Structure formats: C-alpha cells, structure tokens
Chain A
Amino acid sequence: EAEVAQSPRYKITEKSQAVAFWCDPISGHATLYWYRQILGQGPELLVQFQDESVVDDSQLPKDRFSAERLKGVDSTLKIQPAELGDSAMYLCASSRHSGREYEQYFGPGTRLTVT
C-alpha cells in the first residue's frame, strides 16, 4: 500500500539553527500539505501545494519558515532560525486533486525538539 514518506523522523536542534524536513507524497497525488501539530492538539495547516504551486500559505510564518515543491513531487519545509516555540510534530499529507477524492493521507511525521 502506497504511503507518504517523511524524513527525518526525529530532529533535535538548538535555537537559531536551521532545520529542514522532507516529504515524498503518494505517487499520483497532486496536492501536498504541511501541518504542524502541538502536543495534545489537532494539526494546523501551514501550507498547501497544488503540483508545484502554493495554494495557501496564509498560516506559514514567512519570516522564518519556507516551503518548496520545485518539481511538483516531493517537498521540503525549512525553518531558519528555529525558535523554542517551534517544537512540535510536523506532518506531511497528500491527496488526489479531482472530484470527491479529497481524502488526505498522512506521513509518520517529524518530531522536532528545539533546545
């Protein structure tokens, strides 16, 4: 069964350092999402891509966060510089584009700890 891949699974970094996360969506899924989930809460959308284009990044803190999906397949989320409050689970999800097939499938996540 196809799955969304994410790496690394865990990342510990010091504040003010740069950190990057990678996501490979399910093959054929045109839409890719990055979410942030604080412990004990539901995921919150950071950015949504349709192929290589950003559809919504209104909740992305653009002073320190950036995201790209250059070839419309895999994607990278970067934080520079990391702050203590960025400690969270970063989840990637993908879905097909058309019709009612809007079900989103999540990867295992990257647990970020900023010290």
Chain B
Amino acid sequence: TQLLEQSPQFLSIQEGENLTVYCNSSSVFSSLQWYRQEPGEGPVLLVTVVTGGEVKKLKRLTFQFGDARKDSSLHITAAQPGDTGLYLCAGNNAGNMLTFGGGTRLMVKP
C-alpha cells in the first residue's frame, strides 16, 4: 500500500506569514497533485507536478516535486485569510489511482 504523509496536520498563522506544507512517501509516483478543499465542498485541483525536481508557481503558492518523485512541498508566501482550507496532496501511480495524504488544515487569521 502506498502511503502519503502530510505535515503538519494543523497550522494556524497570522495573515502575512509564510508557510510550508510537506507531503512525503517511501513510494515513487508518476505524478502528484495538490488540492484545496473548503468545508462542505469537494477538493479543487491546484496543480499537477510530473517531473522530478519540478517547481510550479500559482500566484503566491509554490509547489515542488522531489527529485526522486517521492515527496512534494507547498509553500505559501504572505498568507491571506482566503487561503484557509484543507490542503491535500495525492500521488498518482501508473494505474491512474490516486492515493491521498491525510491533509493539512490551514487557518489564516486576519
């Protein structure tokens, strides 16, 4: 069974602070996706990373895929209250099966 561990599980910060969320596994994935989920809603896809070492930026969010394609990080610069939510990473294997991490619940206080 492929497992993805996310850390931290919970994060409460003040508006304007920077933060990094980690997603780690002992397994290699063909690609990795990051989602953000708000209470009572489905996950919304933020980004897909495919190549080892790849870095993608989405406004204030920076996503990196590890060189060995086993881990990933999400860095948010100058967090805003609108960034509040559950951040999920999901690894995709060759069979197009997604394995989700347990999520990082982020709260950004004004």
Q: Is the CB of B102 within 8 A of A109?
A: no
Chain A: interface residue count, which band? 20 to 34
Query: What CA separation (Å) do A91 and B50 show in the bound complex?
Result: 24
Q: Is the CB of A43 within 8 A of B31?
A: no
Q: Is the CB of B100 within 8 A of A111?
A: no
Does B92 make an interface contact (CB < 8 A)?
yes
Query: What CA separation (Å) do A19 and B16 show in the bound complex?
Result: 45
Q: Is the CB of B45 within 8 A of A103?
A: yes
Does B42 make an interface contact (CB < 8 A)?
yes
Residues of B within 8 A of A (CB): 4, 31, 33, 35, 40-45, 48, 50, 88, 90, 92, 95-98, 100-103, 105
Residues of A within 8 A of B (CB): 4, 6, 31, 33, 40-45, 48, 56, 91, 93, 95, 100, 102-109, 111
List 15 interface pairs A-B (beta carbons < 8 Å), by A numbering: A33-B98, A40-B105, A41-B102, A42-B90, A45-B97, A45-B98, A56-B97, A91-B43, A100-B31, A102-B92, A103-B33, A104-B98, A106-B42, A109-B41, A109-B42
